[in-house]
């Protein structure tokens, strides 16, 4: 891609700052589910099996009472509502011990969440969630956090800025570029500093109190060079540099980087594993068939189709990964081998 260096005459905004501003406007003014769908919206079995996963994790952590069941980026509250329904049926002890906390900044989405999860407590960030034993869920939360992009140019690096709907590159400090990406000339290396900060903050909490965090998102298991920035509007891709707030901006999650950050901050890590393998290990097909029984053939087919979308290798099953960050010494959680 052709590029030009920025000049003093150009109004520039570093990519992560543009992305943060764009998403703040977007989530304040749009119904995001008109533009994309997420796993909990595809099938209720997603939230149900994750709810049971959380109950088992709670038992493995010593059944602390009370315990926070928190969710970062809870969308319309669908995942949490489905999880709580399953927990109420299958794990009454956990249901009695848990206190629901939701991390959400959008007033529009908080209203939708309140209708599905009455009695929850809301927070703008992890910082204000009380210090206590905690199980945290985060489905498609990290992908919306703002990234920086660095471009290999000869023996050095530039960083991408946005100026009037076009890319501008400025010289970058090589020390800021994540290592080990093997970028060739013109290739991009991405850095998600807020995701690193979130993982480090989680790790700190999980050292102070027993707990586990389940992170589900799309991206590679291993770090690599590549441009993953994308924008969706009306369920179709558009130019990410469109007017700020006109689309949801996301990027692939670097799971290896998140895992290394959490380990360096003192937590233990399990995974990542593919979403298909994780849900299969949790019995998603067994739950799907139970849900399909007694329904009309078209309804049963829709239930099975939803699970196929979640687990199929050509659908979401391989692209989406699942990573657990836990307190040190936590045993192997359902869906994971020790890693």
Q: What is the DSSP string of 257-307?
A: HHHHHHHHTT-EEEEEEEHHHHHHHTTHHHHHHHHHTTS-HHHHHHHHHHH
Q: Is the pLDDT of residue 329 over 50?
A: yes
- Residue pair 40/275 in contact by the 8 Å Cβ criterion: no
Q: pTM higher than 0.85, yes or no?
A: yes
Residue 236 — very low, low, confident or very high, per pLDDT cuts 50/70/90? confident
Q: Name the average pLDDT for the chain.
A: 93
CA angle in degrees (0–180, nearest 5) for 221-59-68: 75
Per the listing, tokens 């991390």 go with 103
Query: Cα–Cα distance between 170 and 66 in angstroms, integer?
Result: 50
Query: Cα–Cα distance between 61 and 317 in angstroms, integer?
Result: 28
Query: Which residue blocks in the chain are alpha helix, DSSP H?
Result: 15-29, 39-42, 44-60, 78-90, 92-97, 107-116, 193-208, 255-264, 275-281, 284-292, 297-311
What count of other Cβ atoms lies within 10 Å of the Cβ of residue 239?
A: 11
Q: What is the pLDDT of residue 31?
A: 80
Residue 3 — very low, low, confident or very high, per pLDDT cuts 50/70/90? very low
Q: Is the pLDDT of residue 10 over 60?
A: no
Question: Residue-wise over 176-207: b if at least 16 C-beta within 10 A, else e?
Answer: ebbeebebeeeebbbbbeebbebbbbbbebbe
For 103-130, the pLDDT digits (tens) are: 999 998 999 999 999 999 999 999 999 9
- Residue pair 59/53 in contact by the 8 Å Cβ criterion: no
Q: How far is CA 322 from the centre of its chain?
A: 9
Lowest mean pLDDT among 4-18, 94-108, 291-305, 313-327: 4-18
For 174-189, the pLDDT digits (tens) are: 999 999 888 999 999 9
Query: Cα–Cα distance between 240 and 138 in angstroms, integer?
Result: 24
What count of other Cβ atoms lies within 10 Å of the Cβ of residue 212?
A: 26
Q: Is 208 helix (H, G, I), strand (E, B) or coil?
A: helix
- For the chain, helix (H) and strand (E) counts, in that order, are 11, 15
CA angle in degrees (0–180, nearest 5) for 98-325-181: 150
**Phi/psi zone of residue 224: left (φ > 0), alpha (ψ -120 to 50 degrees), beta?**
beta
The mean per-residue pLDDT over the stretch 139-167 comes to 96
Long-range pairs, 122-131, Cβ under 8 A, ≥24: 126/72, 126/198, 126/201, 126/202, 126/205, 127/201, 129/68, 129/70, 129/101, 129/103, 130/68, 130/101, 131/205, 131/208, 131/209
For 32-80, the pLDDT digits (tens) are: 777 778 999 999 999 999 999 999 999 999 999 999 999 999 999 999 9
The answer, yes or no, to whether the previous bond of 66 is cis (omega within 30 of 0) is yes
Q: What is the pLDDT of residue 30?
A: 82
Cα distances (angstroms) measured from residue 165 to each of 12, 177, 200, 247: 10, 24, 33, 14
Beta-ladder partners of 191: 148
Q: Is the pLDDT of residue 5 over 60?
A: no
What count of other Cβ atoms lies within 10 Å of the Cβ of residue 264?
A: 12
Inter-axis angle of helices 107-116 and 15-29, nearest 10: 50
Query: Cα–Cα distance between 47 and 97 in angstroms, integer?
Result: 19
Per the listing, tokens 């700052």 go with 17
Percent over 90 (pLDDT), the chain: 87
């Amino acid at each position: 891609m052709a590029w030009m260096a920025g000049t003093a005459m150009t109004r520039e905004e570093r990519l992560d700052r543009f992305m943060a501003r764009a998403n703040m406007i977007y989530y304040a003014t749009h119904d995001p589910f008109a533009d994309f769908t997420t796993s909990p919206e595809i099938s209720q079995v997603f939230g149900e099996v994750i709810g049971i996963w959380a109950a088992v994790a709670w038992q493995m952590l010593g059944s602390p009472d009370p315990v926070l069941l928190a969710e970062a980026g809870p969308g319309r509250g669908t995942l949490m509502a489905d999880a709580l329904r399953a927990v109420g049926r299958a794990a009454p002890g956990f249901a009695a011990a848990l206190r629901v906390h939701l991390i959400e900044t959008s007033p529009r989405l908080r209203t939708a969440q309140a209708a599905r999860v009455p009695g929850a407590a809301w927070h703008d960030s992890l910082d204000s969630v009380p210090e206590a034993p905690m199980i945290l869920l985060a489905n498609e939360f990290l992908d919306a956090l703002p990234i920086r992009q660095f471009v290999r140019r000869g023996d050095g690096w530039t960083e991408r800025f946005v100026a009037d709907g076009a890319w501008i590159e400025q010289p970058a400090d090589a020390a800021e570029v994540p290592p080990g990406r093997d970028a060739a000339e013109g290739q991009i290396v991405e850095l998600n500093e807020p995701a690193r900060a979130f993982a480090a903050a989680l790790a700190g909490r999980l050292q102070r109190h027993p707990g586990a965090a389940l992170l589900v998102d799309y991206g590679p298991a291993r770090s690599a060079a590549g441009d993953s920035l994308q924008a969706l509007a009306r369920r179709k891709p558009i130019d990410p540099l469109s007017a700020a707030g006109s689309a949801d901006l996301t990027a692939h999650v670097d799971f290896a980087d998140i895992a290394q950050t959490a380990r360096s901050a003192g937590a233990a890590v399990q995974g990542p594993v593919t979403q298909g393998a994780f849900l299969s290990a949790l019995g998603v097909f067994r739950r799907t068939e139970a849900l399909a029984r007694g329904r009309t053939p078209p309804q049963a087919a829709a239930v099975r189709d939803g699970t196929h979308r979640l687990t199929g290798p050509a659908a979401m099953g391989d692209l989406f990964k699942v990573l657990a960050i836990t307190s040190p010494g936590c045993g192997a959680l359902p869906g994971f081998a020790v890693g």
